[in-house]
């Protein structure tokens, strides 16, 4: 463990507080699914806010006022356009600083300090942060490709609040990675003359996990897309059907499980002990678990023959 981490673990920066609050909010939303509808006011509005896509169809009746705030679910692609551009922008600054010695711009350094990035010197963290930001950019680029060429979107909708949150999320998560870069003033702190000499076993393990999780998520999205295509690859309908194959044999939403595994692979790449990133992983766990739970309920309500052995999110458990 790097020498700075003992003190850093105890600090609750604005970024850590935000990710902790988001994780707690989605945990609460998940727990509220166990509460009978009549026990608290505004239940219908709350359900409409947390549901999207097909789960809006299988939930409680939607208040008419909520329909005014609908945007098409296919707008998911906008999230990844922003992610590719913004995180590519941050990655370029990091590459320049790591390999060319160019300091971060004043505005970016000031923004990171506002978010709680500290001045510290942290062993393998320079390479770790570079790899995680690269993974995040690759993940966003793949998801953009899938939204444009693999997924088949129906006329399903999301709430405009969810849409705005998604846009902000990928800006925030990129800044979170960059805030973990060890800094000396506006310069990245690098031990030795070559950042690649910082490579450790957990970087390799994290990379393998990232590739493995990404491949499974891609395969699951292909399976879902093919449910609405014929053998020639032509879209023939937008109905919901029961998916089979790969991780669908174990859970209803393996794409959400793969998303969690992708973020865990990044935590491994950080060397296991990065508190800030584990808070991000905690948020991802509860947000994906909520979506998977609602999706599982939808499948069970729509298909009498739905496989009884499948769980919602975690194989054999939940």
Q: Where are the domains of the chain?
A: 66-194, 200-317
pLDDT of 3 reads: 40
pLDDT exceeds cutoff 70 at 156: yes
**Residue 265: both structure tokens together:** 């692979």
pLDDT of 62 reads: 77
Q: CA–CA separation, 301 vs 267, rounded Å?
A: 36
pLDDT of 196 reads: 75
Q: CA–CA separation, 169 vs 11, rounded Å?
A: 22
Q: Give the mean pLDDT of the chain.
A: 89
pLDDT exceeds cutoff 80 at 195: no
Torsion-angle region of 246 (φ positive above 0: left; ψ -120 to 50: alpha; else: beta): left
**Residue 279: both structure tokens together:** 């808070």
**Residue 83: both structure tokens together:** 């992610």
Closest C-alpha to 98, from 61, 125, 68: 125
Q: CA–CA separation, 159 vs 52, rounded Å?
A: 7
If one counts every other C-beta atom within 10 angstroms of the C-beta of residue 144, the result is 19
Q: List b or e across 201-227, with b for residues whose CB sees 16 or more CB atoms inside 10 angstroms.
A: ebbeebbebbeebbebbbbbbebbbbe
pLDDT exceeds cutoff 60 at 29: yes
- Condensed to tens digits (0 to 9), the pLDDT of residues 63-122 reads 778 888 889 889 999 999 999 999 999 999 999 988 888 899 999 999 998 888 766 666
Mean predicted confidence (pLDDT) in 226-239: 91
Give the range among 197-201, 281-285, 287-291 with minimum mean pLDDT: 197-201
pLDDT exceeds cutoff 60 at 2: no
pLDDT exceeds cutoff 70 at 27: yes
Q: Where are the beta strands (DSSP E) in the chain?
A: 70-72, 157-159, 183-184, 187-188
Mean predicted confidence (pLDDT) in 165-194: 85
Selected residue with higher pLDDT from 235 and 135: 135
pLDDT of 298 reads: 92
Q: CA–CA separation, 1 vs 22, rounded Å?
A: 27
What counts of helices (H) and strands (E) characterise the chain? Answer: 10, 4
* Residue 6 binned pLDDT confidence (cut-offs 50, 70, 90): very low
pLDDT exceeds cutoff 60 at 8: no
% of the chain beyond a pLDDT of 90: 62
CA distances to 36, 47, 154, 166 from 72, rounded to whole Å, are 29, 18, 9, 13
- Which residues on neighbouring strands pair with residue 70, listed in sequence order? 159
* Residue 206 binned pLDDT confidence (cut-offs 50, 70, 90): very high
pLDDT of 105 reads: 92
pLDDT of 12 reads: 78
Closest C-alpha to 135, from 183, 182, 77, 205: 205
Contact present, 302 and 58 (Cβ < 8 Å):
yes
Contact present, 127 and 195 (Cβ < 8 Å):
yes
pLDDT of 168 reads: 96
pLDDT of 95 reads: 92
pLDDT exceeds cutoff 90 at 53: no
Torsions phi, psi of 62, nearest 5? -80, 130
């Amino acid at each position: 463990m790097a020498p700075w981490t003992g003190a850093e673990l105890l600090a609750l920066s604005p970024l850590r507080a935000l990710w902790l609050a988001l994780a707690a909010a989605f945990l609460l939303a998940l727990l509220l699914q166990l509460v009978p509808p009549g026990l608290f006011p505004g239940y219908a509005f709350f359900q409409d806010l947390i549901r999207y896509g097909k789960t809006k169809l299988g939930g409680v009746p939607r208040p008419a006022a909520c329909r005014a705030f609908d945007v098409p679910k296919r707008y998911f692609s906008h999230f990844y356009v922003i992610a590719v551009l913004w995180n590519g922008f941050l990655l370029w600054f990091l590459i320049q600083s790591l390999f060319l010695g160019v300091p971060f711009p004043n505005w970016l350094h000031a923004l990171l300090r506002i978010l709680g990035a500290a001045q510290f010197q942290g062993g393998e963290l320079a390479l770790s942060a570079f790899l995680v930001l690269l993974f995040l950019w690759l993940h966003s680029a793949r998801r953009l490709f899938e939204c444009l060429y693999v997924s088949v979107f129906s006329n399903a909708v999301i709430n405009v609040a969810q849409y705005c949150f998604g846009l902000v999320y990928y800006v925030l998560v990129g800044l979170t990675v960059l805030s973990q870069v060890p800094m000396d003033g506006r310069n990245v702190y690098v031990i030795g003359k070559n950042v690649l000499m910082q490579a450790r076993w957990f970087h390799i393990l994290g990379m393998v996990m990232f590739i493995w999780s990404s491949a499974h998520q891609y395969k699951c999205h292909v399976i879902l897309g093919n449910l609405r295509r014929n053998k020639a690859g032509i879209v023939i309908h937008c109905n919901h059907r029961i998916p089979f194959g790969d991780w669908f044999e174990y859970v209803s939403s393996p794409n959400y499980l793969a998303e969690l595994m992708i973020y865990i692979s990044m935590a491994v790449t950080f060397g296991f002990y990065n508190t800030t990133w584990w808070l991000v992983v905690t948020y991802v766990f509860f947000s994906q678990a909520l979506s998977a739970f609602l999706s599982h309920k939808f499948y069970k309500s729509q298909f009498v023959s739905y496989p009884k052995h499948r769980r919602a999110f975690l194989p054999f458990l939940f």
